[in-house]
Chains A and B, each alone.
Chain A
Amino acid sequence: MSQSTVLIDRLSRWQRQAGIIGILGIIASAAGFAFDRPQFFRSWLLAACSGPGSRWALLAST
């Protein structure tokens, strides 16, 4: 069973796009931290508790 190079290229493209969005988001968040710290804290907790999928995935894959 071969692994399609098209699929690997597609994953690489998504990875690049995610990285760019992530860096831009972090830069914008850093600006937010400088200008409005309470709002930064509210938004950061929200994103940290809802965004990454690792904890959910660990439950499903255990």
Chain B
Amino acid sequence: MHNVVGGNWGVIMRRPLESASRTIWITGILLAPIFAGMAFYYPWARPDAAHDPNLVLKAPYLNLPFFAGRFVFYFLLWSFFAYRLSAMSAKTDSSSDKGIQIRMRQFGSPALLVFVLTATFAFFDWVMSLEPHWFSTMYGGMYLIGQALAAIAFVIILLERCSDQSPIRENLDMPLWHNLGNMMLAFTMLWAYLSFSQLIIIWSGNLPEEISWYLTRFTNGWGPMAWSVAVFNFCVPFFILLHRFVKKNPKLLVKVCIGMFVMRLVDVFWLSQPPLRPNLFFSWMDLATFAGIGGIWLYFFFQDLKGRPLVPLRDSRLLVNRKAAHHV
């Protein structure tokens, strides 16, 4: 997205985001155990699906070989995008050729389009098809924007923790923190817009096959969680991030980001778990699997991050390079 739209705001975030995207193959491996529980997760993968006329109609798309093929295809394609873009980005460290940035934009534009499309279908596959009778064309976009919000929050937290040391220290000034805060605000509003649009369309349609999704998520103990997502994932951060002094104060901004990151996890819980646990309950394994998957992913993320300069050294949009050009 940054390669496509440009701007100074994203240069400081680029290397952490590239390292995170270069570990996408790890997420594929960590997600693969779901294949051991296909019949547990997905009604369409159970033997009795053959007796459900609705699922029979959807069988050309929702079947195990095609699901597995798409799974592999998504991760191969996304890994190709991640490595191609980060390889071009690495070239900017040793060369001041302006053409590289143009080539990154030329590659990034179609890649962004294809990524959004494939990620939408990936979330249809992995999460939405837990309830195969229900459908929403907004679901993928809503999920994707929510996860982009979590990525931005994560990188802002990381940058703040590193901002006392070179090369982050001299490349992050108050206007850049302000811009990062504005990014958070924009993605918060976009997430809320998509989520509320889906709710209002389904509510106004009032069709039994559509409202069942919300009924499941507002009953049997799930209601308070739904309200907490609305309040703490949108209302509270929205009103806090409207204030300029919060966005210009890294310590305050990080507190908002930590809150947003936690609420993103609550939102994913609320989106994905009701079909698997009709009554809300928690288990120690929720924490154990999160620590396992998150810890392993972070290990590879930091390994990759250490291996390259933490900022694109010769990018003309980098703060120290802009200051140097100004003095010349």
- B contact residues around A53 at 8 Å (CB): 20, 150-151, 154, 297, 301
- A contact residues around B311 at 8 Å (CB): 1
Q: Does B239 contact A (CB under 8 A)?
A: no
Number of interface residues of B (CB under 8 A): 89
Q: A12-B306, A41-B40, A59-B151 are in contact. Are A51 and B290 (CB under 8 A)?
A: yes
Q: How many whole Å from B155's CB to the nearest CB in chain A?
A: 8
> Looking at chain B's contact residues, is the secondary structure mostly helix, strand, loop, or mixed?
helix
A32–B148 Cα distance when bound, in Å, is: 30
Contact with B along A1-29 (1 / 0, CB 8 A): 11110111011101100111111111111
A53–B146 Cα distance when bound, in Å, is: 12
Q: Does B269 contact A (CB under 8 A)?
A: yes
Q: Does B33 contact A (CB under 8 A)?
A: yes
Q: A1-B167, A1-B170, A46-B269 are in contact. Are A26 and B286 (CB under 8 A)?
A: no
Number of interface residues of A (CB under 8 A): 52
Q: Does B254 contact A (CB under 8 A)?
A: no
Q: How many whole Å from A33's CB to the nearest CB in chain B?
A: 9
Whether the Cβ atoms of B115 and A58 lie closer than 8 Å is: yes
Q: Does B202 contact A (CB under 8 A)?
A: no
Interface residues, chain A, with chain B CB atoms under 8 Å away: 1-4, 6-8, 10-12, 14-15, 18-29, 32, 36-62
15 A-B residue pairs with Cβ-Cβ distance under 8 Å, sorted by A, are A7-B162, A18-B301, A21-B295, A25-B290, A25-B291, A41-B36, A45-B34, A45-B272, A48-B30, A48-B289, A54-B82, A56-B147, A60-B17, A61-B3, A61-B18
